[in-house]
Structure 1
Amino acid sequence: MSAMRHGEAFLAHLAVERGLSENTIQAYRRDLADLAVFLTDRGIGDPGDVNRSDLQDYLYQTHRRGLSAATRARRLAAIKGYFGFLLDEGIRRDDPTELIDGPRLQRPLPDVLNVEEVTALLQAPPRTIIGLRDRAMLETMYACGLRVSELIALTVDQVRLDLGLVRVIGKGLKERIVPLGGLAAAAIEEYLARTRGTLTGHGAEKHLFLNQRGKPLTRQGFWKILKAYAAEGGITKEVTPHTLRHSFATHLLSNGADLRAVQEMLGHADVSTTQIYTHLTTGHLREVYDRSHPRARLTIKAKRGG
């Protein structure tokens, strides 16, 4: 039995939900295959039997083999992602990578859309039966900063239009309450009134967003919808489901939202994960400072000797 069972499911998850490139997916596949060889040599045939010591020994071996810090960091990222996926899916009850640190590298900043690009994306769906569903999904994802897995898992009773709130079940089945903006609430209300009954045939399906067969949407199905509307809206950036989540956080912080509040809305366990978005808002802070501080416009003139 392979030591890296469920690896292909993990890679498919990365491709659909995280929007990683094919090159990155292939690199992760090689990383996991290399780890599988190491574990197999140790007689470990099931991912549930892997412990922290095994992984630390593997990472030490990659260092001795002379792999670069960047390669070792990516390899650890693949391993952490894999075991985090197993934990989220209930395949493991713990994460053996939790206390393992890798080479310190500067974390890349996520891509975000500006407000005009978000508006173009949200206005792209037509006012058809399916277009109303798609607009409601896109509005909800941006309004609440949801992961795509959280969006497609939403049930009708998790959305309280009367209160403007969504009850989200996130990673590790952790529940959080996220505000729902007025435009998103209106889009959902119109979808429920005009579209959803047509898709279900007024059946008993509990999920909020459904495909044309009346079944819950898949991650891949949403991915295709998003890509199509990004192109329709004339957006030239690479847009993934996570792009809307990144944009949600960045726009909130740019407009003065509290970091801890954004952390709670995103469902981040550690505020350090949320802090990456503060790097994206420094330009806005500079503008606020220049506009607001009474001495911001003064220039410093160097003295020259006579």
Structure 2
Amino acid sequence: MEALNFADSIDYFLDRHAKERLIAKGYISEYTQENYAGHLRRLGRYVSESICKTKHPKNWSKKNADERKEDVDIQFEKIEILDITRDLVEDYLVERSKSNKKPTTLNAELYCYRSYFKLLSKRFSNIENILDGLERARFKRTESKHLVENHVERLLDYLLNLDRTDPYQSRNGIFLDVLIKTGCRISECLNLKLESIVYREEMIACVFFGKGGKVREVPLPYHLDGKVINNNIIFKENINEYIELHRKHFLKGKDSPHLLLSNRGNRWSDDQARIMFNSVMATLDLTTYNYTPHSLRHSVATHLLYKGVPEREVATILGHASPTVTNQIYSHTEGSKIQRGMTFGF
């Protein structure tokens, strides 16, 4: 089989990778496919720029940013897979690390490149698996950051006093409600669809599609202490009001399956949701603590573990691959920290 140039090989790799995943796992992650495409294109542009600099160093130094970009665009379409060497990949990852990319991000990129060369080396005789044996970056797992008790109480009071008659406040409130009541990931929350909200007699639940294509249903409430039952009734009323009255404000005549929508009737984006979250943290005077939407996930997990919920059940609620993952993330959290931080009921 005749070898492809690098640009064409990206589509070839993504197509073959998707088919292999479908056979092996029974699903295809569009998010992973998009990430792989981005990783490979960035690597290709880095290699293209290196070639441009090497071929015409004097001319390159005289060109402005637009001219350099044009040269890289042209070179990108010309580079061959064989132009990409192990040294170039390592140099590229070093450059990425200097731009404060996290080790987890670099490892994800390296995994993509290793998969790319492994697959192509099996299908093209002139292509070697040049990254075979290249090790991942080593890193320590940082302590999970959760909200302390009085900060959670501030957030719960904020949600209780929201003007839910306003479409934006209603939507924002549902977003925060789901995060703090289920411990879901922000991507899972934003990917919720109308059909993801299910009713079981007096119980309401969210169906999440998590990492690795795993599906889980998280009922509300998932524990029965204090004011949880009343909170669940309030949440049910709030989400029904949003769906029946306020969601259509965002649709703008469009037809969308997603629960949380942008001003243009599209799925509410990660960036927009984070901007809103940061605004709420500023309102609550919590900006200096650098909380993120993921901090609410850690808060739920830490609270459940403090309440004595078995790790296996917590892993199921959070969508972890196994209780081992849950233990790795939260085993470092001292009991005293958990007790100080998470004695509330939501």
Give the alignment's TM-score, normalised by structure 1. 0.62
- Deviation larger for 266-275 or 253-262: 266-275
The answer to whether structure 1 residue 242 and structure 2 residue 294 are counterparts is yes
Give structure 2 stretches of 5+ with no counterpart: 1-5, 11-38, 52-79, 114-118, 120-128, 222-231, 341-346
Overall identity of the aligned pairs, in %: 25
Cα distance, 1:75–1:133 mapped onto 2, change above 3 Å: closer
Provide the residue aligned with 1:142 in structure 2: 180
Residue aligned with 2:158, SS: coil
Provide the residue aligned with 1:259 in structure 2: 311
Q: Is the 8 A contact 1:122 1:138 kept in 2?
A: no
Q: Larger C-alpha radius of gyration, 1 or 2?
A: 2
Q: Is the 8 A contact 2:192 2:208 kept in 1?
A: yes
Alignment of 1:133-212 (within 5 A): 133-162=171-200, 163-181=203-221, 182=232, 183-200=234-251, 204-212=255-263
Aligned-residue offset at 1:148: 1.3
Equivalences, count: 237
Aligned-residue offset at 1:116: 2.5
Provide the residue aligned with 1:221 in structure 2: 272
Letter in 1 for 2:332: H
Aligned-residue offset at 1:157: 0.6
Provide the residue aligned with 1:79 in structure 2: 106
Q: Is the 8 A contact 1:156 1:207 kept in 2?
A: yes
Alignment of 1:261-280 (within 5 A): 261-275=313-327, 276-280=329-333
Which one of 154, 157, 161 corresponds to residue 120 of structure 1? 154
Letter in 1 for 2:146: V
Provide the residue aligned with 1:13 in structure 2: none
Aligned-residue offset at 1:281: 4.6
Give structure 1 stretches of 5+ with no counterpart: 6-28, 87-91, 288-306
Cα distance, 1:120–1:193 mapped onto 2, change above 3 Å: farther
Cα distance, 1:249–1:75 mapped onto 2, change above 3 Å: closer
Residue aligned with 1:261, SS: helix
Aligned-residue offset at 1:150: 1.0
Cα distance, 1:274–1:80 mapped onto 2, change above 3 Å: same
Q: Distance in 1 between matches of 2:172 and 2:196?
A: 18
CA RMSD of the aligned region, Å? Answer: 4.3
Alignment of 1:271-290 (within 5 A): 271-275=323-327, 276-283=329-336
TM-superposition CA deviations, 1:16-52 (whole Å, max 9, x none): xxxxxxxxxxxxx9xx86xx66xx99x7479xxx9xx
Aligned-residue offset at 1:175: 1.0
Cα distance, 1:78–1:192 mapped onto 2, change above 3 Å: closer
